Amino acid sequence: MSVVINNISRHGDLRGLNQYEVRINNDLVIARFSHVRSEGLAACLRKAADAVAAVEKEAA
């Protein structure tokens, strides 16, 4: 199983807000979130984790 965080924005703006999807095996979309690329990888991973946690909480 692989977890994929994919930038789905039509632009590659480093300073603007980008839209991302978290997927399993590049297939099933688990969650979506927004992120500014210039904030760095660690911030992106935290936002991805928070988005997945929010979806899991809604499903519980």
Q: What is the pLDDT of residue 57?
A: 96
Q: What domain range is 30 assigned to?
A: 3-59
| Coil, strand or helix at 47 | helix
Task: Report pLDDT for 11.
Answer: 84
The pLDDT, as a whole number, for residue 46 is 99
Residue 38 CB burial class (10 angstroms; 0-12, 13-18, ≥19) = exposed
Question: Each residue of 3-60: pLDDT tens digit?
Answer: 999 999 988 788 899 999 999 998 899 999 999 999 999 999 999 999 999 999 999 8
pTM for this entry: 0.89
pLDDT of residue 2 exceeding 90? yes
Q: What is the pLDDT of residue 40?
A: 95
Structural domain count, the chain: 1
Q: How far are the Cα atoms of 7, 35, 44 from residue 38, in angstroms, in the given order?
A: 13, 9, 10
